[in-house]
């Protein structure tokens, strides 16, 4: 494995390559494909929900199935679609933006992906084994602890496994950003996307363990006879609410912060201007990240924590509007006077600003604790969080995919089809969710299977369903765009957008070692500086030399597979203790893989200087 | 770097901090500190749960904390675990002087003390379950107690397996730049377990005795 050679590979070899890869760009593609598939599954569930609610008193799906659909829609979209798609973007861009050859822990990067993947698969297996989880994506006790069947057990095990993967990914990006920056890439020269990836990783690190504990307690209650959430045995189900939201509220910032950073980069690139108020933007991101941990109980205003707690959490929540406002204004000021190009990424970005701001308004309204007694568990809440998550995260993922598609695959998504996908999705989005604010204010509760006719809810729900179909059309056009682009396979240059940051200084797709020579960074927007003041190319910070690369490994796959198997064992030992053997066997596979990883030396290999000169790895 | 990293280091040679001499070592060092930050939240959540469930209303069957806990045993356990933290400091001191033999010796003492602690903890749990009717499923207090203290015990077990694996794996080839970070972060983990125990001793046992 000392010499790198580029050669055409068969399907089996390619598959093996992806199963064992530790290259951040290939892992990004894995996250993209897996996240994309789960996004389609979650979207399908959303469509079934909207069909059921299209007309009053509908019997399209049964009540039990409806509960499973809303639970799986929420869980899938947050944990299995939004998270991995964010990780896909972070994996493709962060190492390139800071001038690194890979992440700090390539092996853990792969492990993080496979844990997420097997957790997601485990969760979705529940559809075929007697019913999916049906206690809502928040899985409040005692509804979740008393839910019959194994649905909620799958929720607990699936999220536990995929959550471990996310935590590993977060630590990996933290160390990467602290230790792997190219010479001259100081913290205050990092692109905003890297900054937000950093803050998001901090949030992952401190938020996910709370979910881990919550899921453990739920697992102990449901599967091993513990009594954490059973008041009759001295338990207290409010503990679950706290643990869930101590994780759950930072989670929404985990999702949206990288998108904020991505939009900052896009706006700067397509306005041909340095980002307005760079340091204020960094400050705002850090402040949002910090405040994000101080507000979890605003999800629990009606739980009965008392007026003092409610007031404190209400004010902390409203305070987040300030740094968010800083960001909104700075984006607008960046565009102000810029030479704007309305490319597809920019179109999604410009659409994001008012959409997300509307979501923010709803958020401030919900933050008023007294008024929240009226909004709580109505469609007003549904409208609010879809405005911030779809209007923020989903718009952002579309923008990011169009923007970085060249770095993923070396091709460009069609601009024409990109814009054609945008309009139905954008219009459909507002059609679906804007009217839900009013449905909520009129008293329509969320999570109800059906509504009755002639209560002024008929028209609003029909409009909402029509909007959902428009969104589906937009998503399908995007898929067609992906297929058309891959079939055409037209290669593009390294810098198709006239970019400003380091990822555009290398070919598309980048060679597997990214940078032949580590670049020297001379300021914010390093490539732009070289374009204006230098020869348009990055100055190398080191002479051409051997490059050290990590070895591929199949261990992450096996380690995650072990937990996947153990998950089934733990779920079914409730019915039959013999299943414990399966659980233990799975754990042994995982621990054995960890043991092998620990005792086997893995030193990586070198690409030699002479091979680099001959152009190894570049396509 | 790579294969140079496997060269055996001997006392008197440089570097003085072999755990941070390579980029991989630095990454492991920093990454593990971050991981311990996450672990802190994990134990904080367990402590929060325990504090919510250790009152008389959660103690629906069996004795409460004040009658249940005996401070003598727990005090001995605390002394043993704190001493094991000290011995692991000696081990790392010798690692920094590149003295592999002494490092192994002190790690061995650390493992022996850790095993003693674990044995005493198992004995403690055995007494509670067999003679005091204080089990994981008896009431919410029991669940919270075993979840918190048991998670810590699980960490001790994992730490012991980890350190023993490293000691056996490297017994023949000695210390080098590749395995020095591994020893170092294992010792960080061991210190973390110790710190958590100090809180368990205070919050669970001492306050349990006081609060009744």
Nearest C-alpha in A relative to B36: A205
- pLDDT tens by residue, B123-143: 999 999 999 889 999 999 999
Contact residues on chain B for A227, CB-CB shorter than 8 A:
137, 139-140, 142-143
Selected residue of A101, A175, A212, A230 to mutate for chain B interface (largest B Cβ count, 10 A) = A175
User: Is A603 within 8 Å of B42 when comparing Cβ atoms?
Assistant: no
Helix or strand (DSSP H, E) at A606: strand A605-607
User: Is B27 within 8 Å of A595 when comparing Cβ atoms?
Assistant: no
User: Is A209 within 8 Å of B169 when comparing Cβ atoms?
Assistant: no
Comparing A251-255, B158-162, B208-212, which segment has the lowest mean pLDDT?
B208-212
The C-alpha atoms of residue B86 and residue B92 are separated, in whole angstroms, by: 10
Query: Measuring CA to CA, how many Å separate B62 from each of A331, A571, B58, B121, B139?
Result: 62, 29, 11, 20, 8
- pLDDT tens by residue, A76-90: 999 999 999 999 999
User: Is A599 within 8 Å of B147 when comparing Cβ atoms?
Assistant: no
User: Domain A19-553+602-613 - what CATH class?
Assistant: mainly alpha
User: In chain B, what's the furthest Cα-to-Cα distance?
Assistant: 62
Give B77→chain A minimum CA distance, Å. Answer: 26
The C-alpha atoms of residue A462 and residue A439 are separated, in whole angstroms, by: 11
Selected residue of B46, B144, B158, B172 to mutate for chain A interface (largest A Cβ count, 10 A) = B144
Give A227→chain B minimum CA distance, Å. Answer: 5
B45 touches chain A (CB under 8 A): yes
A239 touches chain B (CB under 8 A): yes
- pLDDT tens by residue, B41-66: 999 999 999 999 999 999 988 888 98
B35 touches chain A (CB under 8 A): yes
The C-alpha atoms of residue A259 and residue A465 are separated, in whole angstroms, by: 27
Comparison of pLDDT for A614 and B106, the residue scoring more: B106
Would you list the DSSP string of A66-113?
A: HHHHHHHHHHIIIIIIIHHHHHHHHHHHHHHHTT-SS-S-HHHHHHHH
pLDDT value at residue A612: 84
Answer yes or no: is pLDDT of B212 > 80. no
- pLDDT tens by residue, A246-281: 999 999 999 999 999 999 999 999 999 999 999 999
A457 touches chain B (CB under 8 A): no
Burial call B177-196: b when 16+ CB within 10 Å, e when fewer: bbbbbbbbbbbbbbbbbbeb
From B158, B211, B167, select the one nearest B189 (Cα to Cα): B158
From A24, A20, A68, A63, select the one nearest A44 (Cα to Cα): A68
Calculate ∠ Cα A282-A285-A291, nearest 5°. 140
Hey, where are the domains in chain A?
19-553+602-613
User: Is A179 within 8 Å of B165 when comparing Cβ atoms?
Assistant: no
The C-alpha atoms of residue A251 and residue A550 are separated, in whole angstroms, by: 31
**Any long-range contacts for A382-386 (C-beta under 8 Å, 24+ apart)?**
A382/A433, A382/A436, A382/A440, A382/A446, A383/A433, A383/A434, A383/A435, A383/A436, A383/A437, A383/A439, A383/A440, A384/A359, A384/A437, A385/A252, A385/A359, A386/A359, A386/A432, A386/A433, A386/A436
| CA-derived radius of gyration, chain B | 20
Contact residues on chain A for B38, CB-CB shorter than 8 A:
167, 171, 205-206, 208-209
Backbone phi, then psi, for A507, in 5-degree steps?
A: -60, 160
Would you list the DSSP string of B57-105?
A: GG--SS--HHHH--HHHHHHHHHHHHHHHHHHHHHHHHHHTT-HHHHHH
- pLDDT tens by residue, A481-530: 999 999 999 999 999 999 999 999 999 999 999 999 999 999 999 999 99
The C-alpha atoms of residue A80 and residue B13 are separated, in whole angstroms, by: 50
B139 touches chain A (CB under 8 A): yes
Q: Could you tell me the domains of chain B?
A: 19-211 (1.20.120.80)
The C-alpha atoms of residue B182 and residue B201 are separated, in whole angstroms, by: 29
Q: What is the 3-state secondary structure (H, E, C) of A63-77?
A: HHHHHHHHHHHHHHH
pLDDT value at residue A4: 44
The C-alpha atoms of residue A507 and residue A528 are separated, in whole angstroms, by: 16
Q: How far is CA A23 from the centre of its chain?
A: 19
User: Is B144 within 8 Å of A216 when comparing Cβ atoms?
Assistant: no
pLDDT value at residue A85: 97
pLDDT value at residue B62: 82
- pLDDT tens by residue, B84-100: 999 999 999 999 999 99
Q: Which residues in chain A come in under a pLDDT of 50?
A: 1-6, 619
Crossing angle for the helix pair A395-409 and A83-97, nearest 10 degrees? Answer: 50
pLDDT value at residue B13: 80
Q: Beta A547-549 vs A605-607: how paired, if at all?
A: antiparallel
A58 touches chain B (CB under 8 A): no
From A274, A122, A316, select the one nearest A189 (Cα to Cα): A274
Alpha helix segments (H runs only) across A320-394: 321-335, 344-367, 369-375, 379-388
Calculate ∠ Cα A87-A88-A94, nearest 5°. 75
**Any long-range contacts for A140-144 (C-beta under 8 Å, 24+ apart)?**
A140/A237, A140/A240, A140/A241, A140/A244, A141/A218, A141/A221, A141/A228, A141/A229, A141/A237, A141/A240, A142/A229, A142/A230, A142/A231, A142/A237, A144/A218, A144/A222, A144/A240
A214 touches chain B (CB under 8 A): yes
pLDDT value at residue B14: 78
pLDDT value at residue B7: 85
Helix or strand (DSSP H, E) at A607: strand A605-607
pTM for the model: 0.95
Q: What is the token pair recorded at A364?
A: 């401030």
pLDDT value at residue A51: 97
Question: Do residues A315 and A297 lie in contact, with contact meaning Cβ atoms separated by under 8 Å?
Answer: no
From A108, A249, A253, A216, select the one nearest A169 (Cα to Cα): A108
User: In chain A, what's the furthest Cα-to-Cα distance?
Assistant: 78
The C-alpha atoms of residue B188 and residue B196 are separated, in whole angstroms, by: 12
Q: What is the 3-state secondary structure (H, E, C) of A533-581?
A: HCCCCCCECCCCCCEEECCCCCHHHHHHHHHHHHHHHHHHCCCCCCHHH
């Amino acid at each position: 494995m000392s010499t790198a050679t580029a050669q055409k590979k068969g399907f089996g070899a390619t598959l093996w390559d992806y199963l064992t890869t530790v290259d951040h760009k290939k892992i990004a593609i894995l996250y993209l494909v897996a996240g994309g598939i789960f996004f389609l599954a979650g979207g399908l569930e959303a469509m079934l929900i909207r069909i059921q609610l299209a007309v009053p008193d509908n019997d399209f799906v049964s009540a039990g199935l409806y509960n499973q659909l809303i639970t799986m829609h929420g869980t899938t979209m947050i944990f299995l679609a939004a998270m991995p798609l964010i990780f896909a973007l972070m994996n493709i861009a962060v190492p390139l933006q800071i001038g690194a050859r890979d992440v700090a822990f390539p092996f853990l990067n792969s492990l993080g992906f496979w844990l997420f993947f097997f957790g997601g698969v485990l969760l979705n297996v529940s559809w075929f084994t007697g019913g999916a989880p049906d206690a809502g994506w928040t899985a409040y006790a005692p509804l979740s602890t008393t839910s019959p069947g194994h649905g909620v057990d799958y929720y607990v095990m699936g999220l536990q496994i995929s959550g471990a993967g996310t935590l590993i990914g977060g630590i990996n990006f933290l160390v990467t950003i602290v230790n792997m920056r190219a010479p001259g890439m100081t913290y205050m020269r990092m692109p905003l996307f890297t900054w937000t990836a950093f803050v998001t990783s901090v949030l992952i690190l401190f938020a996910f363990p709370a979910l881990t504990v919550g899921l453990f307690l739920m697992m102990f209650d449901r599967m091993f006879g513990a009594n954490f959430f059973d008041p009759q045995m001295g338990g207290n189900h409010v503990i679950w609410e706290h643990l869930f939201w101590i994780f759950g509220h930072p989670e929404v910032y985990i999702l949206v912060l990288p998108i904020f950073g991505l939009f900052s980069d896009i706006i700067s690139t397509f306005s041909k201007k340095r980002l307005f108020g760079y340091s204020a933007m960094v400050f705002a991101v850090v402040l949002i990240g910090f405040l994000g941990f101080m507000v979890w109980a605003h999800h629990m205003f009606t739980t009965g924590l008392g007026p003092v707690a409610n007031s404190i959490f209400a004010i902390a929540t409203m305070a987040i509007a300030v740094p968010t406002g800083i960001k909104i204004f700075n984006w607008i000021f960046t565009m102000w006077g810029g030479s704007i190009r309305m490319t597809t990424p920019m179109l999604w970005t410009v659409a994001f600003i008012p959409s997300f701001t509307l979501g923010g308004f709803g958020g401030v309204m919900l933050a008023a604790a007294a008024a929240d007694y009226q909004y709580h568990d109505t469609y007003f809440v549904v409208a609010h969080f879809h405005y911030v998550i779809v209007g923020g995260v989903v718009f952002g993922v579309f923008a990011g995919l169009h923007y970085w598609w060249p770095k993923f695959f070396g091709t460009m998504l069609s601009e024409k089809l990109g814009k054609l996908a945008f309009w139905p999705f954008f219009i459909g989005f507002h059609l679906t969710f804007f009217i839900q604010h009013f449905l909520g204010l009129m008293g329509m509760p969320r999570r109800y299977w059906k509504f009755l006719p002639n209560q002024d809810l008929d028209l609003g729900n029909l409009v909402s369903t029509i909007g959902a179909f428009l969104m589906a059309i937009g998503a399908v056009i995007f898929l067609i765009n992906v297929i058309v682009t891959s079939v055409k396979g037209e290669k593009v240059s390294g810098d198709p957008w006239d970019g400003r940051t380091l990822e555009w200084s290398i070919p598309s797709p980048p060679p597997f070692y990214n940078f032949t020579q580590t670049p020297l960074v001379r300021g914010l927007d390093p490539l732009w500086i070289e374009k204006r003041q230098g020869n348009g190319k990055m100055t190398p910070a080191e002479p051409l030399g051997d490059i050290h690369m990590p070895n591929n490994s199949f261990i992450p796959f096996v380690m995650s597979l072990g937990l996947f198997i153990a998950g089934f064992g733990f779920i079914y030992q409730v019915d039959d203790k013999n299943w414990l053997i399966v659980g233990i066997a799975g754990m042994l596979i995982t621990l054995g893989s960890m043991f092998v990883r620990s005792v086997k030396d893995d030193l990586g290999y070198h690409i030699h200087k002479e091979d680099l000169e001959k152009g190894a790895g570049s396509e | 770097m790579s294969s140079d990293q496997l060269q055996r280091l001997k006392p008197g040679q440089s570097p003085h901090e072999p755990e941070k001499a390579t980029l991989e070592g630095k990454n492991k060092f920093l990454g593990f500190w971050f991981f311990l930050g996450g672990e802190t939240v994990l134990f904080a959540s367990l402590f929060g749960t325990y504090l919510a469930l250790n009152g008389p209303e959660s103690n629906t069957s069996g004795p409460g904390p004040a009658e249940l806990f005996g401070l003598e045993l727990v005090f001995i356990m605390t002394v043993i675990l704190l001493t094991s933290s000290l011995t692991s400091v000696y081990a790392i001191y010798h690692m920094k002087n590149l003295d592999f033999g002494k490092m192994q010796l002190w790690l061995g003492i650390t493992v022996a003390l850790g095993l003693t602690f674990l044995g005493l903890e198992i004995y403690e749990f055995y007494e509670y379950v067999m003679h005091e009717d204080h089990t994981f499923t008896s009431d919410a207090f029991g669940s919270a107690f075993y979840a918190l203290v048991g998670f810590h015990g699980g960490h001790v077990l994992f730490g012991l397996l980890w350190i023993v694996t490293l000691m056996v794996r490297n017994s023949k080839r000695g210390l080098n730049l590749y395995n020095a970070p591994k020893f170092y972060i294992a010792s960080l983990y061991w210190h973390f377990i110790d710190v958590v125990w100090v809180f368990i001793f205070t919050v669970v046992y001492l306050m349990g005795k006081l609060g009744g």
